[in-house]
Structure formats: structure tokens, C-alpha cells
């Protein structure tokens, strides 16, 4: 059997399905041109054998197995026999592969799905079924693809609350580099994307391979290289012992796992992922959003909130979101969570006086919920202590004065759906900020580990709520960016990138979270002059320029702002609205700028583009490096101008005073003379095709 080739957007995947075992991916990387599979046979036959789609020792793979599990009192290694291989390939447009395999002696059947979309992104998932009479305890099932020997470096990400997506690089040597999350959610330290690449790869250079598990519960990503030669990237759900036990005829399906490749650095690989999220069609216009959390916290005095709404509307804000504190007994974070009824003492007329005024001011109205959590000091916990996710005889350790609600319990699920459905309907909510503020520890559901069931139940709850209210938008927040993955993004409209509104920290957080998430889905807010978390004071121009390159919002008590500040904020919001068609539809580019104290990034479309030159800290060298604008058409001419207010105290070159027209080749290779900026300053540059 000749190898099968899937190809699209400069990417090729070559699959050997000759059997008798599972197919092997012989190549995942650059397109091979107009070549038939049969012509590849002499070359591919001489290569080090690649591991199959689900590697095992019986296939000559002595690393981590793709499938692990067993039956009580019996151990029989699985060796798959290929039953069916269906390949549908359209040259230049990708294709699909469906594999059916079985091992009658082991009592298992397998179905694997592999697809390449028109943008060259590869997705994979496996389904294993128990065909024997005795139960099968599944311990792990991952999706993997091989990477070649030249992939000698690894990039992954770690982090903590208010400091997500910190990059870390290392050599891709022999053995396993594994990133595992047992937090019951994606986690602040969840890598999100695990990347292997050629030495020194950057945003615009080098060959890279990346993998992402689209799952919001416990998960793993790992890279492994054996001395015999093969190496691979893998990802999937991380299962606890006894979490998935399959009776005869029952199946388990992995989350969808995403693989991306680029021959020109991280930006191209990231672009394939962005295109996947955008493939279902463009989102509605992303309204500039004010969230009242850092403005008022638990102070829900109606007069104060109405004044805040008035000032928000005057600044051009388009959506007002009432955060934590509106429901029964919720005067601080120690009580009331789970009692999803409007607090009659604080809101004797319900939320209608606020919601009605917000809409008369021309804004949408949204509300904060944390459905998957409960305070022990709540009516819900007192009436239904058995709804807490944990063992009845010993509760898990508390975090943030709260426990986790067992959403997979039918009664708890029904309660949440009724409450959310009722409130969304009564107040005609446009938007929900859906929070998840703690890790899940010691979860016990029906006597077994409960993260898998909890995650699927949360997905069902969101899906059903959106089915009942098709126009409702939902933001995924998890104490900031602790639930950012393609499982949650398949059913929500944006993520809250971080609980840090410190614009200096946000520059890095947004830069690296943006590898997975396009700008229109990244919540990016203008915080207060003195950041509530770090205590750092930063100028409004820098805070606004940082929020400009995402789904822009405000998290600031505007009743304390001066008229000059409100006018400046209104100017930045108007600029965001004008540039929104580019910012929320274009290709994200990040220059490999030589100065470590500065960043240069942008969003590019064929007609117009927007860039930001950001000075983070004091520059060591005297003269700034030229601004080489990436991603432009070298054969086109462009008009270049400054967009938005000029930063204070800057040494500005002549082109910032009046527009200039230059070829894309000059802008990309020679660049613009750079301004000399103070630390924590940014210059926004608009580039329009002439």
C-alpha cells in the first residue's frame, strides 16, 4: 500500500497504512509538492521506523505507551490489528483519516480520527471500547505525532495567579519532558501549548511543531525522544486510578488534540490555531466592556453603580458587567456562593433599576456567576451538603473559603440550570462572566475520582444554557487565566486572560497567551492608575495601548477619574473601535526584536495593519534598534502614521510627525527609525496599503 498524503497551506502529513498494525505517520511538516505516495516508498523505507498512532512495545516503541490500562487479575499487552482504514484526501485542502482496529484477545476495539483542515492544522482523537465481559480500567489514552531529529529545543509555559504563561525553554534531549495538571482545571501553570523546534527558533524564524490538548480538566502534554531515534509530541486527558472503568460495550473518547507546524517560526504555527477558532465564522463585534470588580468590589450601592454606568457610557463603553456580590448573603467572599437569587436586602427591586438604566445608556448588560462553586456558609451547602464534590466523611481542603459543587450530580446540575436559565431570561442578559476560582482537590463523585465527570457536566451546562439563549455570550474566567484551552473556547466567546491588570505584566501575559488565543477572544482591560495587585503606577496611555490589542475593556472606578483622564480614555476607546476590524480579524505578528527591553508586535491584514512598539524597561544601548515591521507585503507600498496619543517624554523621529509612504520591503528589512521611549511607554503605528 502506498503512503497516503494529506496536504494544505504548506503542510503535509504522510501516513503509512500498510498494516498489519496501526498506521504510522512518516512525515508531519513541510509540503512535499506534487508527489505521489508511491514515489516516496524507497525513501521512507530507509528511515527510522516511526511510532504508530497509538505507540506500544509490540510496535517497537519503548517509551510511554499511548494506551495504558488493564483488567483485575489479568494482564494482556495490546497489539492492534488494523480492521479498516478510510482516507479522504483533497490535495491542498487537507482531508480525514478514520482507523478501526481491534485486539480480540485483549478485548478492546479502537477508532482513531485524524484530520487536517484547509489551514494545515491537524486534529486527532481516539475512542477505545471494551468488548470483553470483564471491566477494563483505563489509565491513559493520548494522541501523538512524531517530530524529526532536528527538533532540538522545547518551549513550554508555566505560571501562577496573576502571572500566567511564563515561557521556559530547554534542550529536547533523551527521555520524557512531561507537563501534567491535576488541578481539576487547565491551571495557571498549564502549558497550553508544548512546542518543539529547531535550535534558536523564534516568532519569525525556525521550524516548529506544537501540540495542545483541548480539555479543561486534568490533562498532560509530553515530549519524548528515545536513543533509537524516534521522538514525539503527545497530549490528552490525565486520568486518576479508577476514574474511567469501562464495562462491556462502554467507550471512552479522548479530548480533541491539536497539532500545528510551521516552517517560519511561532507566528505561523499560532496563526493556524487562530484560524481554527475563527473557522466557525466571525464573532459579533466585540463590545468594549466595563467590569465593576476593581471599581466597587462588593459595594453594590445603586447610586454608585449608576454613576459608574453614566461615566462608562460617556467614555464610549458598550457593555456593563456587574461582578460578584449581587446574590444572597454575598457581602464578602466567605458566604453566599451558590445562592443564586438576587439579594433582596441590597436589591429590593431586583437588578432591574441598574439593568434598565444601563440599556437606556446604550450599553449591554452582563452578570457574574461562579456556578461550579459553593461556600460552606450558604443556604445551598446547608440544605444539600451531599452536593459538595468530595467524600462525605471528609471534605477537601478549602480554598478561597469555598468548595466545589458536584455538577455531575443530576440534582445539582438541575438546580444550576434552572437558576441560570431563570436569571438570564428575567434580565435578558447579554453576557455572563463565568468564573471558576479554585483548584479542584480530592474530588470524589459516586465513589470514584470526579474531575472527568465534573468537566463534562460543566460543558453540558454551558452548552444547554446557550441552546436556550442563542444570543448569550459567555466569558470563561478562572481566577484569571486558569481555564484557557480549546475545550472551553469551543463553547465560550472569550477568556479573561489574567487577574493582573498591571499593563507591564500584561504585555508578556497577553503575548504568550496569544499563541493559542486570537485577540478578539482575549479579555484585555484598562486598570486603575495604581494597579490593585502589584501596586505599580502606570500612565493611562500605556495601560490603554496594552488593552488596545485584544477584546478591550475597563476595570477602573471611573467615578474617581478626572475629566482629563475620562477624555483620554474616550480617545483610546474610539481608536480601538476604529481599528477593531483589523485587530479582531488580522494575522498576529511578533517581531524577533533584538532589544530585550522592548517588544514590537502587531496585527496584519492585506489592506491595513496596526503595530505597537513597547518599551518595557530602561534600554541599555544608547540608540534604539530600527523597527522592522513583520508580515507586510514586500511588493506593496504603505502609508505609515502614528495612531492614538503620542507617549509623553519621547524622543520622536520625523516620521511620527507626518505620514510617510514606504515599500513593504523597506519596512520589513530596513525598518523605521525607532523612537526613544521612557519605560512603560508604547507607540501605536497604523500602516495602510497605498
- How do residues 145-190 score in pLDDT, each as one tens digit? 999 999 999 999 999 999 999 999 999 999 999 999 999 999 999 9
Mean pLDDT of the chain: 96
The pLDDT score that the predictor gives to residue 46 is: 62
The pLDDT score that the predictor gives to residue 44 is: 66
The pLDDT score that the predictor gives to residue 73 is: 86
pLDDT tens-digit profile of 624-667? 899 999 999 999 999 999 998 989 877 899 999 999 999 999 99
**DSSP character at residue 42:** H
435 is catalytic: yes
633 is catalytic: no
Question: Would you state the cell numbers that stand for residue 394, as one nine-digit string?
Answer: 471528609
- Chain-centroid distance of CA 503 in Å reads 20
Taking the CA atoms of the chain, what radius of gyration do you get in angstroms? 26
CA dist., res. 112 & res. 22, Å (int)? 10
The pLDDT score that the predictor gives to residue 1 is: 56
The pLDDT confidence band at residue 36, using thresholds 50, 70 and 90, is: low
Q: Is the dihedral of CA 598, 286, 477, 446 positive or negative?
A: negative
Out of 156, 267, 435, 505, pick the active-site residue.
435
The pLDDT confidence band at residue 427, using thresholds 50, 70 and 90, is: very high
Q: Which residue has cell 482504514?
A: 85
At 116, give phi and psi (nearest 5°): -120, 125
Contacts of 455 (CB under 8 A, 6+ apart): 184, 215, 216, 217, 487
Range 271-294 average pLDDT = 94
Residue 368 has pLDDT above 70, yes or no: yes
Residue of 123, 81, 137 whose CA lies nearest to 105:
81
Starting at the earlier edge strand, list the strands of the sheet with 24-30: 4-8, 11-16, 24-30
How far CA 20 is from CA of 83, 611, 638, in Å, comes to 9, 53, 57
CB 403 within 8 A of CB 396: yes
CB 502 within 8 A of CB 230: no
- Chain-centroid distance of CA 207 in Å reads 22
What percent of the chain has a predicted confidence (pLDDT) above 90?
91
Which domains does the chain show, CATH number per domain?
4-278 (2.70.98.60), 289-582 (3.20.20.70), 591-689 (2.60.40.1180)
Q: Classify residue 161 by burial, with Cβ atoms within 10 Å: 0-12, 13-18, 19+.
A: middle
428-467 residues labelled b (16+ CB within 10 A) or e (exposed)? ebbbbbbbbbbbbbebbbeeebbbbbbbebbbebbeebbe
CA dist., res. 6 & res. 31, Å (int)? 9
CA dist., res. 163 & res. 504, Å (int)? 11
185-198 residues labelled b (16+ CB within 10 A) or e (exposed)? bbbbbbbbbbbbbb
The pLDDT confidence band at residue 354, using thresholds 50, 70 and 90, is: very high
Least confident of 414-428, 590-604, 648-662: 648-662
Question: Would you state the cell numbers that stand for residue 660, as one nine-digit string?
Answer: 510617510
Neighbours of 252 (CB within 10 A): 20
The pLDDT score that the predictor gives to residue 280 is: 80
Question: Would you state the cell numbers that stand for residue 196, as one nine-digit string?
Answer: 518543539
Strands 608-615 vs 637-643: parallel, antiparallel or unpaired: unpaired
Residue 41 has pLDDT above 90, yes or no: no
Residue numbers in the known binding site for substrate are 161, 323-324, 400, 433-437, 477, 499
CA dist., res. 269 & res. 221, Å (int)? 17
First to last CA, the chain: 53
Out of 499, 502, 505, 531, pick the active-site residue.
499
Residue of 309, 296, 314 whose CA lies nearest to 353:
309
The pLDDT confidence band at residue 291, using thresholds 50, 70 and 90, is: very high
Question: Would you state the cell numbers that stand for residue 464, as one nine-digit string?
Answer: 444547554
Question: Would you state the cell numbers that stand for residue 66, as one nine-digit string?
Answer: 499511548
531-548 residues labelled b (16+ CB within 10 A) or e (exposed)? bbbbeeebbbbbbbbbbb
pLDDT tens-digit profile of 480-496? 999 999 999 999 999 99
The pLDDT score that the predictor gives to residue 473 is: 98
Q: Which residue has cell 504548506?
A: 10
Q: Is 259 helix (H, G, I), strand (E, B) or coil?
A: strand
The pLDDT score that the predictor gives to residue 37 is: 63
CB 358 within 8 A of CB 291: no
Range 442-447 average pLDDT = 96
The pLDDT score that the predictor gives to residue 2 is: 76
Residue numbers in the known binding site are 161, 323-324, 400, 433-437, 477, 499
CA dist., res. 145 & res. 52, Å (int)? 9
Instruction: State the helix-helix crossing angle for 451-468 and 410-426, rounded to 10 degrees.
Output: 30
Omega prior to 458 cis, within 30 of 0: no
Q: What sections of 427-494 are H helices per DSSP?
A: 451-468, 486-489
Residue 84 has pLDDT above 80, yes or no: yes
pTM, full prediction: 0.97
Contacts of 391 (CB under 8 A, 6+ apart): 442, 444
Q: Is 261 helix (H, G, I), strand (E, B) or coil?
A: strand
Range 540-562 average pLDDT = 98
CA dist., res. 90 & res. 594, Å (int)? 41
Beta bridge partners of 290: 320, 554
Would you mind telling me the total number of residues written for the chain in this entry? Answer: 690
Contacts of 132 (CB under 8 A, 6+ apart): 71, 106, 107, 108, 248
Amino acid at each position: 500500500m502506498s503512503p497516503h498524503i494529506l496536504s494544505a497551506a504548506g503542510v503535509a502529513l504522510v501516513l503509512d497504512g500498510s498494516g498489519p498494525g496501526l498506521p504510522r505517520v512518516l512525515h508531519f511538516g513541510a509540503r512535499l509538492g506534487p508527489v505521489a505516495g508511491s514515489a516516496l516508498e524507497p525513501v521512507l523505507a530507509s528511515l527510522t521506523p516511526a511510532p504508530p498512532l497509538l505507540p506500544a512495545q509490540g510496535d517497537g516503541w519503548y517509551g510511554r505507551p499511548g494506551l495504558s490500562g488493564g483488567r483485575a487479575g489479568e494482564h494482556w499487552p495490546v497489539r492492534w490489528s488494523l480492521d479498516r482504514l478510510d482516507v479522504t484526501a483533497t490535495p491542498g485542502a487537507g482531508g480525514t483519516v478514520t482507523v478501526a482496529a481491534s485486539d480480540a484477545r485483549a478485548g478492546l476495539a479502537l477508532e482513531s480520527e485524524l484530520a487536517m483542515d484547509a489551514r494545515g492544522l491537524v486534529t486527532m482523537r481516539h475512542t477505545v471500547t471494551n468488548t470483553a465481559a470483564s471491566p477494563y480500567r483505563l489509565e491513559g489514552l493520548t494522541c501523538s505525532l512524531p517530530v524529526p531529529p532536528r527538533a532540538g529545543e522545547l518551549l513550554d509555559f508555566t505560571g501562577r495567579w496573576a502571572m500566567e504563561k511564563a515561557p521556559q525553554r530547554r534542550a529536547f534531549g533523551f527521555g520524557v519532558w512531561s507537563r501534567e495538571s491535576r488541578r481539576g482545571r487547565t491551571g495557571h501553570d498549564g502549558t497550553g501549548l508544548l512546542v518543539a523546534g529547531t535550535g534558536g527558533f523564534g516568532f519569525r524564524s525556525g521550524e516548529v511543531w506544537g501540540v495542545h490538548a483541548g480539555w479543561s480538566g486534568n490533562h498532560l502534554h509530553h515530549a519524548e525522544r528515545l536513543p533509537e531515534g524516534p521522538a514525539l509530541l503527545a497530549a490528552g486527558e490525565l486520568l486518576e486510578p479508577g476514574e474511567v472503568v469501562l464495562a462491556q460495550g462502554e467507550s471512552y473518547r479522548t479530548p480533541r488534540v491539536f497539532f500545528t507546524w510551521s516552517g517560519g517560526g511561532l507566528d505561523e504555527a499560532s496563526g493556524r490555531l487562530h484560524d481554527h477558532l475563527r473557522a466557525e465564522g466571525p464573532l459579533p463585534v466585540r463590545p468594549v466592556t466595563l467590569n465593576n470588580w476593581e471599581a466597587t468590589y462588593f459595594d453594590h450601592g445603586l447610586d454608585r453603580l449608576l454613576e459608574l454606568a453614566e461615566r462608562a457610557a460617556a467614555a464610549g463603553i458598550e457593555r456593563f458587567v456587574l461582578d460578584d456580590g449581587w446574590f444572597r448573603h454575598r457581602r464578602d467572599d466567605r458566604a453566599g456562593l451558590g445562592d443564586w437569587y438576587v439579594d433582596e436586602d441590597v436589591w429590593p427591586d431586583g437588578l432591574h433599576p441598574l439593568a434598565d438604566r444601563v440599556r437606556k445608556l446604550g450599553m449591554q448588560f452582563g452578570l457574574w456567576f461562579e456556578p461550579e462553586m459553593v461556600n460552606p456558609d450558604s443556604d445551598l451547602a446547608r440544605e444539600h451538603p451531599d452536593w459538595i464534590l468530595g467524600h462525605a466523611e471528609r471534605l477537601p481542603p478549602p480554598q478561597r473559603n469555598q468548595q466545589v459543587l458536584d455538577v455531575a450530580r443530576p440534582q445539582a446540575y438541575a438546580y444550576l440550570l434552572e437558576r441560570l436559565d431563570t436569571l438570564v431570561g428575567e434580565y435578558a442578559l447579554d453576557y455572563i462572566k463565568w468564573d471558576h476560582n479554585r483548584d479542584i482537590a480530592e474530588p470524589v463523585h459516586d465513589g470514584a475520582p470526579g474531575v472527568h465527570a465534573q468537566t463534562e457536566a460543566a460543558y453540558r451546562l454551558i452548552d444547554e444554557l446557550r441552546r436556550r439563549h442563542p444570543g448569550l455570550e459567555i466569558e470563561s474566567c478562572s481566577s484569571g487565566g486558569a481555564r484557557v484551552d480549546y475545550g472551553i473556547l469551543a463553547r465560550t466567546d472569550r477568556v479573561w486572560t489574567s487577574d493582573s491588570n498591571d499593563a507591564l505584566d500584561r504585555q508578556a501575559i497577553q503575548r504568550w497567551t496569544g499563541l493559542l488565543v486570537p485577540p478578539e477572544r482575549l479579555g484585555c482591560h484598562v486598570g486603575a492608575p495604581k494597579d490593585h495587585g502589584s501596586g505599580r503606577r502606570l500612565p493611562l496611555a500605556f495601560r490603554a495601548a496594552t488593552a488596545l490589542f485584544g477584546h478591550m475593556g475597563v476595570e477602573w472606578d471611573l467615578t474617581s477619574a478626572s475629566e482629563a483622564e475620562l477624555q483620554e480614555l474616550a480617545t483610546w476607546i474610539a481608536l480601538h473601535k476604529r481599528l477593531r476590524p483589523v485587530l479582531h480579524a488580522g494575522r498576529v505578528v511578533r517581531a524577533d526584536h533584538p532589544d530585550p527591553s522592548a517588544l514590537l508586535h502587531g496585527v496584519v491584514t492585506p489592506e491595513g495593519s496596526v503595530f505597537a512598539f513597547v518599551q518595557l524597561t530602561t534600554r541599555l544601548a544608547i540608540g534604539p534598534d530600527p523597527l522592522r515591521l513583520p508580515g507586510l507585503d514586500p511588493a506593496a507600498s504603505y502609508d505609515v502614521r502614528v495612531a492614538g496619543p503620542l507617549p509623553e517624554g519621547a524622543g520622536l523621529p520625523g516620521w511620527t510627525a507626518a505620514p510617510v509612504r514606504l515599500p513593504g520591503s523597506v519596512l520589513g528589512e530596513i525598518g523605521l527609525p525607532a523612537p526613544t521611549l521612557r519605560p512603560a511607554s508604547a507607540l501605536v503605528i497604523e500602516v495602510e496599503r497605498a
